Amino acid sequence: MDDTGFDLVVVGSGFFGLTIAERAAAELDKKVLVLERRSHIGGNAYSEAEPETGIEIHRYGAHLFHTSNKRVWDYCNRFTDFTGYRHRVFAKYQGQVYAFPLNLALINQFFGKSHTPDEARALIKEQSSEVDSADVQNLEDKAISLIGRPLYEAFVKGYTAKQWQTDPTELSAAIITRLPVRYTFENRYFNDTYEGLPVDGYTAWLEKMADHPNITVRLDTDFFAVRDELPAGVPIVYTGPIDRYFDSAEGDLGWRTLDFEQEVLHDTGDFQGTSVMNYNDAEVPYTRIHEFRHFHPERDYPTDKTVIVREFSRFAEEGDEPYYPINTPDDRAKLERYRERARKETAENNVLFGGRLGTYKYLDMHMAIGSALTMFDNRLRPFLVDGKPLSGTESED
């Protein structure tokens, strides 16, 4: 392929990659080539209309935009308006539905008694005293030391076992550093200053980011299949799996993946009355059900049918889509070795590694965008404008 004349190559068209591409194209007037192995733009944030109902589906799992970073919020608003959607989650346990996360409404409902905030605090303090924080050995101990056994067994134990395919007594306590309890009736899931969903959907937002005359997007293109054909000397921002870039030379990093079971339901326009319902009972195989019509109540969706998506969590195997880093001590040791390789690759070949897969970090959308803006400001702009080396320092934790 003829890919001469580009000033920058970006591997991956998710939020991190497109933010880098858009900034280089729009702010520096640089020509950018974006390589995307999938047949569509947008990475895991890609959304599409379900054909039968027209309801917008997030193909790779629900994406909820929220941030307290005003710079990120202002940047995103260049490409999309946001709805007033506020995310609220409910949890189903033993046939009853509870407002989630843990708050005063859940505590009152679960224990069958009205508690004042102070009474609820005292109750949780008493129940959590069963396990001293100094004696914590595993995730179960840690959770009980934070919220007590009754709430742990109802709302954490089964859900966590399904998420990790592992008994919580065999999981590291480091997986949960805190379990927030709200001693008010506030049931908004996120606490961020800004929240909403893109008015026209994620794909429209992402396509607008890429809609610049200096940006060329090549879909269905595997970077590793064409890397030898890329112009020599052009810097690369790589957002794929860092272990894949180095041919797993330090071993494969561990990931969890998700499976989705989508179903169109007829003769009802509303299956569960909310966008997300967690299923906390261990015997229910899925972790939650999304009903996507509720993400956009302002839209004119059909009233006689709806779409639900059951979500299943498991360890990723070869060929699976990686979602969440597992981050065992062994993974962390491998990652340090990959980071050293990445530093050398940056210094020698002008390759930068970013995004969720490229850094082996779980990043919400606003975090990926913020991280990309920082990389652009601190690494790419000085390189592309002033010729400074790309191998400057940048935080990795």
Of 311, 338, 356, 379, which residue is the catalytic one? Answer: 311
Q: How many helices (H) and strands (E) does the chain have?
A: 14, 16
Is-catalytic flag, 381?
no
Contacts of 227 (CB under 8 A, 6+ apart): none
In the three-class reduction of DSSP (H, G, I as helix; E, B as strand; rest coil), residue 175 is classed as: helix
Is-catalytic flag, 311?
yes
* Structure token digits, residue 251: 């071993």
Of 23, 182, 293, 356, which residue is the catalytic one? Answer: 182
Element (H, E) at 26: helix 15-28
Sign of the C-alpha dihedral computed for residues 343, 348, 352 and 353 taken in this order: negative
Of 78, 186, 321, 362, which residue is the catalytic one? Answer: 362
Could you tell me if 35 and 26 are in contact, meaning their C-beta atoms sit under 8 angstroms apart?
no
Of 23, 195, 245, 256, which residue is the catalytic one? Answer: 256
Q: Angle of helix 15-28 relative to helix 202-210, nearest 10 degrees? A: 30
Of 119, 153, 364, 394, which residue is the catalytic one? Answer: 364
Q: To 5 degrees, how large is the angle CA 254–CA 324–CA 136?
A: 80
Of 135, 178, 229, 317, which residue is the catalytic one? Answer: 178
Q: Detail the DSSP E strand segments found in 316-390.
A: 324-325, 351-353
Is-catalytic flag, 182?
yes
Cis amide linkage into residue 101, ω under 30° from 0: yes
Contacts of 78 (CB under 8 A, 6+ apart): none
Could you tell me if 57 and 309 are in contact, meaning their C-beta atoms sit under 8 angstroms apart?
yes
Q: Detail the DSSP E strand segments found in the chain.
A: 8-11, 32-35, 47-49, 56-58, 65-67, 89-93, 96-100, 194-196, 215-218, 236-238, 255-266, 276-279, 288-291, 305-315, 324-325, 351-353
Of 23, 288, 293, 356, which residue is the catalytic one? Answer: 288
Is-catalytic flag, 178?
yes
Is-catalytic flag, 362?
yes
Is-catalytic flag, 227?
no
State the catalytic residues: 178, 182, 256, 288, 311, 362, 364
